[in-house]
Structure 1
């Protein structure tokens, strides 16, 4: 879940009261426990690639009506994902590509299930209980016979297992402040190059990050996931400088932009 202001229920003086909470996820999401096959063929994402080419433009905006029109083909791809979870013999890049594509595809499926909608945050109960009733916590699909949520994929698998902060440039939660949804599927052979391209695109897009030498207004991603960006001797400054054409340093004043949750629609 891309964290934002969410509502929780607090017991105060014997009554339930809605309370606003702001900040990153505080509790870990357990990894799914689906049975991993000892060996199987890696999944082919060609069908998803074709749909993305047809219904996502160069800016990453989605023609959700187009996806609706191609719903049979889209559901066929999702069914294939559902029946073929990554196996122990899959190379790491194939596993990562599978889970990134699964996250993005099931996010589109969630929007289609509630379309038309103006924001992913409009889905579900008006009072959101963290880890329980948010759109990202809803277990609305199955992989390998286990009911799963988008949070399971992002926090329980990708962040926990692969330790590559570049995933934050690839996971798209159907919102305008998200990174661009690529109009191609992620594949093992191109994965590292695709993730680096996403980083360059995200950091140099002034709608997502406003960077100058003296001051950098960064995406909330760099605030929400500070721990990820500081792993392995890295830092927010180092990750920004890896992709931004304008370089910053420890003297640069860093602040964070408000997150635009409007739907990433054409």
Structure 2
């Protein structure tokens, strides 16, 4: 209970620290085609990742990451879909890079910062890449940009933390042109996957994501109402909700 309280406190701090400074004027949305090709080559339909395959294509991945680093979103000229596609792809691509830097590793949580303060300074706070010449972390992308700047709860089904219990890494890149359909697909795939969520009319055992980020899922209604938008088996309003354990094993 204490650890959970600390975790939520950190999330609130992250969201109250102002918007991220990651961004740059005068840029154009980069192509995500090369990342799409890498995902198709090294991620299967179930979201299992061939990290050895990615490692063999490290040069191609690095070229794409450089493209992202040097073309951060211009908030004034890019559409919301272009910005969202950029940040989702950036989160997923840099997560893959992080795993490759430490591979073989059994879990992303085995990657420790030099100063290891549990739940305060974690692997997600590592500033191991740059966006627009500024040090950046996965935590900043998730909490200060995706969660703070966009009212889009479906991002939680699109970004991947390289773990078994995460929403699966899709074997395609996200694109502005198809973003809404891709987010719908990701939401439906995750919510209806019994590995992540066990749904019955009167009760549901849900992924901890729905507990950790309940605020994001209930901005326009209840948690049950949100889930029922995508669930094949609808929950009653009085459904008893519990949460599964989270498996942090690597998604390979």
TM > 0.5 fold call:
yes
2:8 is matched with which residue: 9, 25, 33? 25
2:190 is matched with which residue: 194, 202, 220? 202
Question: Which residue is equivalent to 1:65?
Answer: 52
Equivalent residue of 2:241, what SS?
A: strand
Structure 1: gaps (5+ residues): 6-19
Question: Which residue is equivalent to 2:246?
Answer: 259
Aligned length: 244
1:130 is matched with which residue: 101, 119, 122? 119
Contact in 1 for aligned 2:107/2:248 (Cα 8 Å) = yes
CA-to-aligned-CA distance 1:143-168 (integer Å, 9 cap, x gap) = 01110110100000000001110000
Matches within 5 A, 1:205-220: 205-220=193-208
Contact in 1 for aligned 2:27/2:72 (Cα 8 Å) = no
1:101 is matched with which residue: 65, 89, 93? 89
Structure 2: gaps (5+ residues): none
CA-to-aligned-CA distance 1:181-216 (integer Å, 9 cap, x gap) = 110000001101000100110011010001111210
Question: Which residue is equivalent to 1:154?
Answer: 142
Change in Cα spacing, 1:184 to 1:112, as seen in structure 2 (3 Å) is: same
| Counterpart Cα distance in 2 of 1:162 and 1:28 | 18
Question: Which residue is equivalent to 1:110?
Answer: 98
RMSD (CA atoms): 1.5
> How much does 1:83 deviate?
0.4
Matches within 5 A, 1:229-240: 229-231=217-219, 233-240=220-227
| Counterpart Cα distance in 2 of 1:237 and 1:188 | 29
2:160 is matched with which residue: 150, 169, 172? 172
> How much does 1:127 deviate?
4.5
| Counterpart Cα distance in 1 of 2:106 and 2:138 | 19
Equivalent residue of 1:21, what SS?
A: helix
Query: TM-score, normalised on structure 1?
Result: 0.88
Matches within 5 A, 1:41-52: 41-52=28-39
Equivalent residue of 1:188, what SS?
A: coil
Contact in 2 for aligned 1:83/1:145 (Cα 8 Å) = yes
> How much does 1:41 deviate?
1.9
> How much does 1:176 deviate?
0.5
Query: TM-score, normalised on structure 2?
Result: 0.93
| Counterpart Cα distance in 1 of 2:22 and 2:229 | 36
Question: Which residue is equivalent to 1:11?
Answer: none
Which has more strand, going by share of residues?
Answer: 1
Contact in 2 for aligned 1:237/1:248 (Cα 8 Å) = yes
> Is 2:212 the counterpart of 1:227?
no
